[in-house]
Structure 1
């Protein structure tokens, strides 16, 4: 049986520098690698990896877009909310939902929805 070990989204952007700036300055990602000839970059924060690229010449491209969102599990969603709520465009404010998750969502500089959540039963635990 083949084991899947990770997923690394490749987000298209029309401006690589702006997108690297958003993820490094606003969200605290580290630039792991960059190739300007390919218009590609790799970013990391803790155990989360994201790649960025200008749209591939082999793909039909009209505009930046994604029919979904990227959901990040974090260990202190309230602290992250306090940090990001005035730095970013908000999709929805922090809330505790019936499915026992406390979460919020923002838009990145390309319009991708980034959701951040934490299970309610882990809030306040100092394990």
Structure 2
């Protein structure tokens, strides 16, 4: 049987270059590859700390319809990290609009970020043992 090695979400975005700047400059991803057409980027693969996100230009979708759906029906990218509080401070220093850090009942510190197309990224880490 084949072994799974990675899952990489492909996000349909309105402006790949704007989203690429957000993920690269705001969230600290690096561009692993990109493809353009007529001088405009239409696909980019970004990576950071073993996490991969692919941005694909949305030529046929309806952003307004996707954003109008209930949040449980939308894609949520949950990014596990080693220190949510440190990540929150780093992103805030980069000028990213970050939500408040919440402590969940199951012992996670989490905060929410929305990318330029409205996709939700939740950054979370285990609460340190002594802080529960």
Calculate the TM-score normalised by the size of structure 1.
Answer: 0.82
The 1:95–1:40 alpha-carbon spacing in structure 2 relative to 1, beyond 3 Å, is same
Matched, 1:88 2:96: yes
Q: Please report how far the alpha carbon of residue 68 of structure 1 lies from its aligned counterpart in structure 2 after TM superposition.
A: 3.0
Q: Is the 8 A contact 2:33 2:44 kept in 1?
A: yes
Match of 2:44 among 20, 41, 55: 41
Question: Which runs of 4 or more aligned residues in structure 1 lie more than 6 Å from their structure 2 counterparts after TM superposition?
Answer: none
Calculate the TM-score normalised by the size of structure 2.
Answer: 0.79
Q: Please report how far the alpha carbon of residue 109 of structure 1 lies from its aligned counterpart in structure 2 after TM superposition.
A: 1.2
Q: Is the 8 A contact 1:88 1:108 kept in 2?
A: no
1:63 maps to what in 2? 63
Q: Please report how far the alpha carbon of residue 69 of structure 1 lies from its aligned counterpart in structure 2 after TM superposition.
A: 0.8
Please, which runs of 5 or more residues in structure 1 have no aligned partner? none
Over aligned residues, Cα RMSD in angstroms?
2.3
Deviation readout 1:44-94 (Å, 9 max, x if unpaired):
0010011111126xxx5222747131000011111111223472334x410
